[in-house]
Structure 1
Amino acid sequence: MKVPALVLLSILATIADEARSDIYQVVSANGSITLTNIHRTDRKLVRVARERPALAKAPSQVKPIRKGVAKAPRYALIVAQAAFDYDLPAELLHAVIKTESNYDPFALSPKGAAGLMQLMPDTAKDLGVQDVFDPAANVRGGARYLKRLLKMFDNDLSLTLAAYNAGPGTVLAHGSAIPPYPETQRYVPSVLGHYQRLQADAKRPR
């Protein structure tokens, strides 16, 4: 029996998608067509589908991407350079970025904080950041601001982060304590938690 062309193409597409070996076409003397995956030298075969190369690993075997720094490798060098220039731990900058923008360089808060490290317009202007959506400029500005706050609060990281979130004047107005604002009360432990996890991850043997 002859197989219509459209039917044959449909069969070939299905077999080619599912098969794990080459598919051959055999045309008999009466014109009938047979498809087979068995290669025989005593028959005239025409290969109509080639086996797809096997994947190196099945999806379930692929190791997941490590959390933290590895999640945003495109910014790793920017963060590392800013951390070096301002003598800060790179893990701290990553922790702030993770909490502030989750690595979205175009993040914009309702209050106007923008970029990876969510710089407010006045703060960015004071820091000399002309384009808050430029990742390198934003991270350098954020690192410079963190360094300034650390000096202001005698390297107290909790107060520094509270000031980064609520403003240094607010922290000073509350007696150099974390202001009782829900957002700031959540923000400080969130950054510290990311920071501690990233530090621990950096110490693990590779």
Structure 2
Amino acid sequence: MSGVVFERGDRVTLRTIEREDTEFLQRGRNHPEVAGPLGMPFPENEIQIEESIEEWIEGDDSVNLFVCLDSEDADGTEGDGDTKSDEDNSESDEDSTETTPIGMVNVMKLHWDRPLLSYWLLPDYQGEGYATEAMTVLLDYFFDSHYKRGVQARVFSHNEPSQALLERLGFEQEAALRDHVFVEGAYRDELVFGLLREEWIGE
């Protein structure tokens, strides 16, 4: 995991996505329990993921970050058992941090009046509150850095956990596109959720 910390929460960090991160991105986007709810019916090989990073993630119309768990060296020691000096510790917290990527958050279509949010976590890390925290950190950053009226998110009608996440964050359902996408064996409604600036920051 080569990306640097962009934002920090209590338990998660949001880190930049680099070209060396192809393997994790490919594993996540191809996972059956991730690809299905995202409506991604085609497998993606390494070359396709590399092209996605170059054309989409490195573009200027979206913000794309990995959700990571960082664990520090518990005893602050070097490999030979000697305690690190204050000078060593001051160089960078990154040196003693082990980073585990667990998912991804995005703000897409930044040119829209209400940009589009997206998110996913690997199944092993779902249901632990990480997605709620990651999205909270992302929304804090977004509304602090981009003067937009609001944001939107779209989920399929059978994805109840994702709907519950958005509702916890204060989103309201604003529309339902009926039988809009064929995904996971059936036509599904696509539900449009929205969150206004003042609903998030209290203006």
- Calculate the TM-score normalised by the size of structure 2: 0.22
- Calculate the TM-score normalised by the size of structure 1: 0.22
Structure (1 or 2) with the greater strand fraction: 2
Q: Which has the higher contact order (CA 8 A, sep 6+)?
A: 2
